[in-house]
Amino acid sequence: MDEGRARRRGVSPRLWLAGGWLLIALLAAIFAPLVAPQDPLAQDLMLERLPPFWIDGAEPGYWLGTDSLGRDLLSRLIFGGRIAFIVAFAAAFAACLVGSTLGLIAGYFGGWADRIISRIVDVWMAFPPVLFAILLVAVLGTGLSSVILAIAIIDWTRFCRVIRAEAMGQSRMDYIENARIAGYGRIGIMLREVLPNVVPSIVALLSLEMGIAVIVEAILSFVNLSISTDDPTWGGIIAEGRLSIHQAWWVLVFPLITLILTVLSFSQFGEALKARFDPVLR
């Protein structure tokens, strides 16, 4: 069944594949103490750099091998998913709330509100986002809350610009004039008429932002600016694997694959949801 026929029947392969991976990764992160085969922090130099289970020299129970300190790689990836999903959900929802609200106000009301908000967005987007995030975390201090706050502070502009354009287009539609004739106030029209029609775009952006948040957290943890504890993070595991790529390639490859699949799944999941629920695309 091709994707076009599947979409006509109400089933999108992208939605199922991306959603399936995200569901598996999320459940593994939530129930990490139950599903992880080993303690992610336990070190045993006698087990250092064990290969994955299909390569000669592997040990039972260490499915993806171990790192240079003998820590189980699969367990560290599962527990690292906790940090990734916490940052993804918290930072994305915070950026979505601020950016979508300001974008809706700017796009629907226009005038001085649009000019002020648009100028703020232009100034904000003049800063390189990754460097801005590193600067904010350096100022705020390392820690999970600092990472979430830094990502939210940077990425609300993405929601603001897109939702502003969507709201501006919706405000010119005939149904808005009909709502005014029916006696609805401007706030009521914005919330009852405009907002529901921009929700598909918000959903797609929210899912995309979750993937971006995962990448930013991985970058910050790669340069040791994420959480300050010994808890594993995907970026931290990648940084460790880079140092031993010639002796234990799996320590670098598997977290990279996990990170790429998660980010792509967030992106495709959002696009598939928008295609499914946006009446224009349908």
* CATH number of the domain bearing residue 115: 1.10.3720.10
Which one-letter DSSP state was computed for residue 60? T
Q: Which of 101, 91, 84 is nearest to 159 (CA)?
A: 101
Cα–Cα dist 57/60, whole Å: 10
Flag whether 247 is in a domain.
yes
Flag whether 25 is in a domain.
no
pLDDT tens digits in sequence order for the chain, 282 residues long: 444 554 444 557 878 899 999 999 999 999 999 999 999 999 988 999 999 999 988 888 899 999 989 999 999 999 999 999 999 999 999 999 999 999 999 998 888 999 999 999 998 888 888 788 888 888 887 788 888 998 999 889 989 999 999 888 888 787 777 878 777 777 888 888 888 888 888 988 999 999 999 999 998 888 888 776 678 999 999 999 998 888 899 999 999 999 999 999 998 888 887 776 655 555
Cα–Cα dist 138/132, whole Å: 10
CB burial of residue 69 (10 Å; 0-12, 13-18, 19+): middle
Indicate the pTM of the whole model.
0.87
Flag whether 78 is in a domain.
yes
Flag whether 238 is in a domain.
yes
Flag whether 168 is in a domain.
yes
Flag whether 17 is in a domain.
no
Pair 3, 271: CB distance under 8 Å: no
Report residue 90 as tokens. 């918290």
Give me the number of domains the chain comprises.
1
Flag whether 8 is in a domain.
no
Q: Give the C-alpha distances (Å, rounded to integers) separating 230 from 40, 86, 267, 282.
A: 10, 17, 30, 47
Q: Sign of the CA dihedral 18, 66, 215, 147?
A: positive
Cα–Cα dist 258/28, whole Å: 13
Cα–Cα dist 12/7, whole Å: 5
Q: Which domain holds residue 176?
A: 66-277
Which one-letter DSSP state was computed for residue 136? H
Cα–Cα dist 58/214, whole Å: 31
